[in-house]
A and B are shown apart, each in its own frame.
Chain A
Amino acid sequence: MAEDNILLQMKHIHKKFPGVYALKDVNFELRAGEVHALLGENGAGKSTLIKCLAGIYIPEEGEVIVKGNSHIMQNVADSQAHGISVIHQELCLVPYLSIAENMFLGRERNVAGFIKRGQEAEEAKKMLARLGLDFDPNTLIQDLSIAQQQMVEIAKALSVKADILVMDEPTASLTDKETEVLFETMRQLKAEGIGIIYISHRMSELFEITDRVTIMRDGQYVGTVNTRETTRDQLIAMMVGRELTQLYFKDEVKPGEVVLEVKDLVSPPFVNGVSFAVRAGEIVGMSGLVGAGRSETSHCIFGIDNRYTGEILIDGKPVHIRSVRDAMKNGIALVPENRKEEGLVLINSVGYNLTLTVLHEIFRGRPLGNPKKENETIAQYIHELAIKTPTAEQLAENLSGGNQQKIVIAKWLATKPKLLILDEPTRGVDVGARAEIYGFMNELAKQGVAILMISSDLPEILNMSDRVLVMHEGKVTANLSKNELSQELIMRYATGGGTANVA
């Protein structure tokens, strides 16, 4: 490959955080017109490397060469000026500003400081159209769904004239259809000679869209391979440093008594008459498209939505659930969809977050708490779920996505629930941690916990569920047992193609 083809080189990059050596001598190279994946477990340092390129972090050591110039980016504006545009892993939009305003934030179209709204709206409209989106550019971000926001984020990055485009898990909250549109756009950009750095935990996507893959592990560079010459297993082995024989772990468990039963749950506009049951030891998958009302149903059961009508029975007895406390008293736990907003107090420590749900136990009969018990609980869950953190005092926001997810799961396991509701339990979680999470689910089911798993990830639904409920427009349209499951069938009911076995 000719030298002049190389857009970007990062050499011997080092970056330390207090207690964490996040990047140890990492190398990376990007050519014009290629899609180059960065692959690694949660916490491997992928996002940190990207932030060193985007001018958000400044590496302690190392060299960054952009189009032949050696230059360490000093801030975001600097990196944009060098033709680098980044879609960050965490959504970076201002909720109260419009789509167009967000798109041009930091590089407003203006004359002497006065904004040209008309021009911005027009350009925004064009960028959105390119991604097949038909939004009014004046819509406020807070009125969009997470997936729509993600698409806006992508449009925003594309609207920067960049020759290096970085995408840190852009597809984590997208559906297959939107992902396809994104890939189509990526192929066009490739043809225009733009280099794309692509981060995703979805292996199948890597094989579909990337040319090369660079693997990182524990902040270190492991190697770079051509996608066409490698296999899934080889990538996984490089990534986790061992063979991972099995991702999904599911033992047959004989279902026990019915733990949860809901009858005619209604909470407009998303929940329009939902009835189903979950038995002890059973993992019930809940599938459906975005907006089908799955999370909203779980919010009723967990008492977050207290304006619903209908009946909820626990162990066969009708219960009154109008608050999260009510739900917890009835042995229900919910691992929410959006860990950063609903799952964690990010600015507090790992330990603080872990015990937040069981404070009443730690303070029972002891006005000043029981530090010994608290520390034991914290240590136990950090160990059991293999949460990667230097200490329990580390702030939750400094952990990688997968480890944050483990904290949320752990804090609810600590309540020893009878019914565990998991909403998108493995979104943005690497294969290693996924296998571990599936392992816990299996373990819990064996102990007789009833599990309701809401997921948009079809392989996960197919492999982990004993039974699958499919939702469409606020109703359960199918109740499929393990032996009749198939992807086609689920998609058919999810898109409104009839009903099956519905009580």
Chain B
Amino acid sequence: MAKPLSFPEDIFEQEMGQGMRPETEAELAEIIRVANGPFVVRGGGTRSVGACEGAVLETGGLSGVVLYEPGALTLVAGAGTPLAQVEAQLAAEGQRLPFEVPDMRGLLGCSGESTLGGVVAANASGPRRVQAGACRDSLIGVRFVDGAGTVIKNGGRVMKNVTGYDLVKLMAGSWGTLGVLSEVSFKLLPVPETGATLILRGLSDAQAVQAMASALGSPFEVNGAAHWPGEGTFLRIEGFAASVAYRAAQLRRHLAAFGALEIEEGTARWAGIRDVTPFHGRNGDVWRISVKPSDAPGLVARMRADAVLYDWGGGLIWALAEPGTDLRAALGAFEGHATRVRGAGPGAFQPESPGVAALTRGLRAKFDPRGILNSGLMGA
């Protein structure tokens, strides 16, 4: 239970101005508890999708690494902790967040400091998702304040935990609609000794998806598989030097039917795929579409986008489309979901089936009974 706190005189006046920025979890809880108005929950504002109205409630004050145990591969930090700070601290110990957080600032045309809470709220996951899982798979604990101002914790700091319901997963990708994250815990991975990028050129989209499927279905531990039409089809392997060399040679043989495989040292190229640099500086709406990989080329043909980038072996399509195009209408019924990550108007998130939408509404009504957290976002 949060005990009553005294605030600096001006904390509620800020509501009118630039918004509120609690410095502690208890302060965050109290702000929400006594509030009536809607809030727009904000980490660094570097990966916002869709729009909603209200006073800005910033988490940047809830910053700092609470615990980092390299020998246990675990990190606990305030939700407002800058991603860059954490990445640097992990790198110093030869570790990293497994899921390769995309930097969306170039794509969204914004600046600011990405926070861990924002990463979790967006379930932001890059190319390594195909092998190491999404953000939700590495997230092992959360603390958050619900829409009534109550502090709730779930999970913890250990990797294996099935005690009670997994609200940790529920919070990942909830875009601030169920609560405001105050603390998050992650499981980490060591940074491999080295890596290589394998490139096939000149493949059609369909051939590329087949080549990526073949590579991902091999035992050679491919942890990135992307296709940039016109540019090439890219595979990434990482590990100890001898192992990377061995697997590169094996993959060259394994993929011989798709043409000659170029082997590029290092993995520098993957930041561009992760951050969708091919779309930077180009006009239009940007869509992020999760599909069954083998469906991807057919869907791309149907959507008639200005440009596309395939990641996750085809399971993730980034599409650049004419502003205001309803890409979902062009796609028709398909298995998966499409989110408009850049562009104006309603309907950024994929509409849900009636049964699932009812559950979502029910959960939001429980966690945020007054409907004050990012109200209007994600359909409800």
Is B truly associated with A?
no
